[in-house]
C-alpha cells in the first residue's frame, strides 16, 4: 500500500512538472521537445491538435509492444501516460500566463521541468510511456542510462521539427532536449530502473 501511494504521488508530481514545462515554457514560443511529446507538439503547431491526445494516440503501438514483450513496463507506465496526457491538455489555459522570457531561457526552464518530471517518475518505477517507455526497454537491455537513450530519440524528432519549421526552432529544441536529458540523468543516475522488469 505504501509503495502504491508513493508511485501515485510520483505520477502526479512528475506529470504536473511536465505539464507546466510544456504549457508555460515550450508551447508559447513554439519550442519542441523530443520523443512522443515532440511529435504531439508538432501536431499542435501544425494542426492545433491537443498535445496530450496526440501523445496517447502515438503511444498505442509502443504500449502494444510492451504488452507482449515487457508486461511490467506496460503496467508501470499506463497510469503515467494517462495522467500526464490529461494534465497537459487540462492545464493548457496556463499558457495565457506565459512569462515574457528570452526563448532560449524558456527552452532551458521548460526542459528542466519536463526532464525533472520524467526523471522523478522513472526513479519511482513509473513513466509517461511513449518513447520514454521505449527508452526504458532499450536502457534495460543494454544497461545504459535511460537519459542517453531519450537524448538520441529526441534528436531525431527535433531534426524533423527543425526541417518543418525553422533553424531557430531546431536550435531552441536542442537546448530543450539537452536540459531534459541532463535533468533525467541527474534523477536516474543511481539506478537504471532494474526493478521495473521484476
Specify if 5 maps to a domain: no
Specify if 3 maps to a domain: no
Specify if 151 maps to a domain: yes
Specify if 8 maps to a domain: no
Q: What is the pLDDT of residue 46?
A: 95
Specify if 68 maps to a domain: yes
Specify if 4 maps to a domain: no
Q: What is the mean pLDDT of the chain?
A: 87
SS3 string of 32-81? CCCHHHHHHHHHHHHHCCCHHHHHHHHHHHHHHHHHHHCHHHHHHHHHHH
Q: What is the pLDDT of residue 148?
A: 79
State the residue range of the domain holding 80.
14-91+101-197
Q: Does residue 110 have a pLDDT over 80?
A: yes
Interior angle at CA 80, CA 106 and CA 15, nearest 5: 30
Interior angle at CA 45, CA 121 and CA 181, nearest 5: 30
Q: Does residue 187 have a pLDDT over 90?
A: no
How many angstroms from the chain centroid is the CA of residue 104?
19
Q: What is the pLDDT of residue 100?
A: 87
SS3 155: helix
Q: What is the pLDDT of residue 94?
A: 94
Specify if 1 maps to a domain: no
Specify if 2 maps to a domain: no
Q: Does residue 190 have a pLDDT over 70?
A: no
Domain count, the chain: 1
The single residue listed with the C-alpha cell 507538439 is: 41
Q: What is the pLDDT of residue 197?
A: 39
Q: What is the pLDDT of residue 88?
A: 97
More confident residue, 151 or 185: 185
The pLDDT tens digits of the residues spanning 49-100 come to: 999 999 999 999 888 878 877 777 788 788 899 999 999 999 999 998 888 8
Q: What is the pLDDT of residue 132?
A: 67
Amino acid at each position: 500500500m505504501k509503495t502504491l501511494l508513493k508511485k501515485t504521488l510520483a505520477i502526479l508530481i512528475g506529470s504536473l512538472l511536465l505539464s507546466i514545462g510544456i504549457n508555460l515554457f515550450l508551447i508559447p514560443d513554439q519550442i519542441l521537445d523530443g520523443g512522443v511529446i515532440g511529435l504531439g507538439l508538432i501536431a499542435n503547431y501544425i494542426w492545433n491538435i491537443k498535445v496530450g491526445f496526440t501523445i496517447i494516440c502515438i503511444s498505442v503501438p509502443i504500449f502494444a509492444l510492451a504488452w507482449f514483450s515487457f508486461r511490467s513496463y506496460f503496467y508501470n507506465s499506463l497510469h503515467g501516460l494517462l495522467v500526464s496526457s490529461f494534465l497537459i491538455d487540462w492545464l493548457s489555459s496556463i499558457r495565457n500566463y506565459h512569462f515574457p522570457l528570452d526563448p532560449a531561457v524558456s527552452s532551458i526552464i521548460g526542459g528542466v521541468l519536463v526532464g525533472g518530471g520524467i526523471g522523478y517518475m522513472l526513479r519511482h518505477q513509473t513513466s509517461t510511456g511513449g518513447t520514454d517507455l521505449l527508452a526504458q526497454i532499450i536502457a534495460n537491455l543494454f544497461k545504459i542510462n535511460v537519459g542517453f537513450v531519450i537524448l538520441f530519440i529526441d534528436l531525431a524528432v527535433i531534426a524533423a521539427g527543425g526541417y518543418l519549421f525553422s533553424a531557430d526552432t531546431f536550435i531552441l529544441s536542442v537546448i530543450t532536449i539537452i536540459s531534459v536529458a541532463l535533468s533525467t540523468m541527474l534523477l536516474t543516475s543511481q539506478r537504471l530502473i532494474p526493478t521495473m522488469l521484476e
